[in-house]
Each structure stands twice: as C-alpha cells, then as structure tokens.
Structure 1
Amino acid sequence: MDLLNTLDHLLNFAAPAAFLALVLVAIGRFLGASRTGVPRWWLQWAITFVAGVAVLVAGLVVSGRDGRMSTYAALVVVCGTVQWLVLRGWRR
C-alpha cells in the first residue's frame, strides 16, 4: 500500500469520530452552551475527536475488524459523555 492509500484509510477510519464530534459541538452551541466558562468550539471538538478515535482504535483491537456496530454504538456513547462532561465541567 502506498502513502496515499494509507492516508486515505486513516482519514476514512477517523471520519466518523470527526463528524460526530462536529455535530455534538454544533448541537451543544445551539442548545445554549455558549455561556461563559465553556471552552471554545475547536477545543471541544478536539477533546471529543480524540476520545472518539480512541474508541475506534479500541474497537479495532478488541474485535479485530473496523466498522462493527458495537464500536459505533460505543463511539456515540463515549463522545456524548465526553461532550457532556466538557460542557458541565467548565461551568463550575
């Protein structure tokens, strides 16, 4: 596999985590998380994205395959929890 194919595979592997993090940050801002004390949107996105990629890597290691529905379910739960903690933790 050459460099472009490797980069393509890595980007496609991380794409669900990036999209979900972006959606969660946008929904959080829309629902009123733009108050004082909440970190900037790109920092929220980065924290949620890193947690999501960690879940995807853990799912790949545990199941041996990428794209299992259980991994994507864990991705949604973990990213939602991280986003909730980020919004909740910085308010105090």
Structure 2
Amino acid sequence: MGPLDALWHLFNFLLTPVGLGLIAASLCKLAWWRPLRAVRWQRLAWPAVGVAVLIQIIFLVWLGRDGRMSTYAAQVVGVALALWWAAFGPRRRLPSAG
C-alpha cells in the first residue's frame, strides 16, 4: 500500500464519525434552537466529533475490525451524551436574567 492509499484509508476511517458528529450537532441546534440560541455550533460539534472518533478507534482496537454495527450504535449513544453534556449539562452558562 502506498502513501496515497494509506491517506484514503485514513480519510474513509474518519469520515463516518466526523460526519455523524457534524450532522448531529447541526440537528441538535436546529431542533432546540430556542434553548440553544446562546450556544455556538462549534461548542456542540467539537465534543460530538471527538467522542465519535474516540469510540471508532476504541472499537477498532477492541474488536479488531472496522464497520461493526456495535461500533455505530456506540457512536450514536456517545454522540447523544456528548451533545446533551455540551448543550444542557451542568457547565452550561445560562444568560443573566437582568
């Protein structure tokens, strides 16, 4: 395998978790647009993408194979938890009342 092939393999390996994180952050911002008006899209997207990529790598090492349904299910759950934490978790700064 040449360097270009390795680059394409890495790109395809990361495409699913990055796409899932970006699409989920966009849908979260769209679905809860009023409560998340003050939260920037990047603040939602970075944790979602990071968790999805981390789960992809962990399951590749654990199962020895990429593309298992359990990996994708774990990514969906992990991204949902990361988005909840970033959007509505205890660290969220609420706008002042005054």
TM-score > 0.5 by shorter chain: yes
RMSD of aligned residue pairs (Cα, Å): 1.4
Which aligned pairs between 1:42-57 and structure 2 lie closer than 5 A?
42-57=42-57
Distance 1:55 1:67 in 2: 12
Query: Is 1:34 matched with 2:23?
Result: no
Query: Quick check: 1:67 aligned with 2:67?
Result: yes
Structure 1 regions of 5+ residues with no counterpart?
Answer: none
By how many angstroms is 1:65 displaced? 0.5
> 1:70 and 1:8 mapped to 2: Cα distance?
24
**Where in structure 2 are there 5+ consecutive unaligned residues?**
none
Distance 1:10 1:54 in 2: 14
Give the structure 1 partner of residue 5 of structure 2: 5
**Aligned equivalents of 1:46 and 1:4: distance in 2?**
27
**RCO higher in 1 or 2 (8 Å CA, sep ≥ 6)?**
1
Larger radius of gyration: 2
Q: What amino acid does structure 1 have at the position aligned with 2:43?
A: L
TM-score calculated relative to the size of structure 2 = 0.82
Query: When you count helix as a share of all residues, which structure comes out higher?
Result: 1
- Which residue is equivalent to 2:22? 22
Q: Distance in 2 between matches of 1:43 and 1:11?
A: 23
Task: Tell me the TM-score normalized by structure 1.
Answer: 0.87
